[in-house]
Amino acid sequence: MKESIIKIAEIKNELNEKFEQINSIKDLNELKVVYLGKKGIVNELSSIMKDLNIEEKKEFGSLLNSVKEEINNIIDVKRENLEKIELEEKLKEDKIDITLPSTKLRVGNIHPLTRVIEEIEEIFMSMGFDVVEGPEIELDLYNFEKLNLPKGHPARDAQDTFYIDEEEVLLRTQTSGVQARTMDANQEKTPIRVICPGKVYRRDDDDATHSHQFMQLEALMVDKNISLAHLKGTLEIIAKKLFGEEREVRLRPSFFPFTEPSFEVDVTCSKCNGKGCSMCKDTGWIEILGSGQVHPNVLRNCGYDPEIYTGFAIGMGIERIAMLKYGITDIRNFYINDLRFINDFNRVDGGNE
């Protein structure tokens, strides 16, 4: 027993000397394994206990635990000091000269068309509409036929487009096909409130106000007893949210094959407040979109009974809305990827350069 106590004292003295020579956390960890590991020097002393009586075992065990705790405490203090020293050395190495000029980081911007789409989506979603998307490569069935535009219909000429497979597959000319798909897929024929944003294609000559591809957003509501009052109320909310609370809405009779009755929708000119100017051609009104009550044939083609269900549809060109909203005069600016236009637009709109 006495020899064991002397052995412990020798171990402690030896360990204290070695601690003084430790200069890294790696060396400290290795030293800890040598003394406190499963096969370490301190644990090997436990083998002595088998030769001791009960009282000596209690005394020696208590002493051994005390030594382990003491060594652990010394290691923790040493580790804390070493970590502090390493941190200070690292900070010296990584020191930053704050007197140097900073590097200006270029931050990307949201495209103006994306801004307008997101704004319109927020308006419609606040009224309970869902956002639905569909394929840009569309079947003639959904792009035309289910929308009351059978083959040979003269209204197709205005949308002569890019056909991929003779007469059955084409690049869509309107997002109305998504509306038809939504109604067709609604097996229960329950009420529908959706908007359909996306890119469309038409064979057109590109100029300041026309493009062979452009962004469109259409809205559809189908339910029982939907009237023109619902349509006009929705249009007034859209116009006021997009162009200002003081805007007034006017519906002009028009023709669209998939709606009956159909209307072109105008708002009072934001530049002259309806008094008449060069922007509105002295009329006081500016056309923004098309709309109307869903044609009974469209409802019937998509499985709805027009004697029970009615609805309205709204269609708008996103570029036109953006041009009116932000005073952009050439539709081509949206697609030529000129950063000067994007940066100027975002400076006006409060974005990051």
Domains of the chain by residue range:
2-93, 112-349
**Model confidence band, residue 352 (pLDDT cutoffs 50, 70, 90):** very low
Query: Could you tell me where the DSSP H helices lie in the chain?
Result: 2-21, 25-36, 41-44, 54-93, 112-125, 140-143, 176-185, 228-243, 296-301, 318-326, 339-349
What share of the chain has pLDDT > 70, as a percent?
Answer: 89
Does the domain made of 112-349 have the CATH classification 3.40.50.300? no
- The pLDDT of 253-276, averaged and rounded, is 90
In angstroms, rounded to a whole number, what is the distance separating the alpha carbons of residues 177 and 185? 12
Of the ranges 10-24, 88-102, 162-176, 244-258, which is most confident? Answer: 244-258
CB atoms within 10 A of CB 250: 17
Tokens of 99: 């007197």
Structure tokens at 114: 């994306």
Region of poorest pLDDT, from 29-38, 43-52, 56-65, 115-124 = 43-52
Instruction: Using alpha carbons only, give the angle 287, 290, 293 rounded to the nearest 5 degrees.
Output: 140
| Bridge partners (DSSP) listed for residue 206 | none
Amino acid (one-letter) located at 93:
E
Structure tokens at 2: 């006495």
Closest listed residue to residue 143, CA positions, set 195, 89, 202 = 202
Confidence of residue 326 (pLDDT cuts 50, 70, 90): confident
Contacts of 270 (CB under 8 A, 6+ apart): 243, 244, 247, 286, 324
Q: Nearest to residue 273, comparing CAs of 288, 259, 283? A: 283
pLDDT of residue 341: 81
Q: How far is CA 323 from the centre of its chain?
A: 24
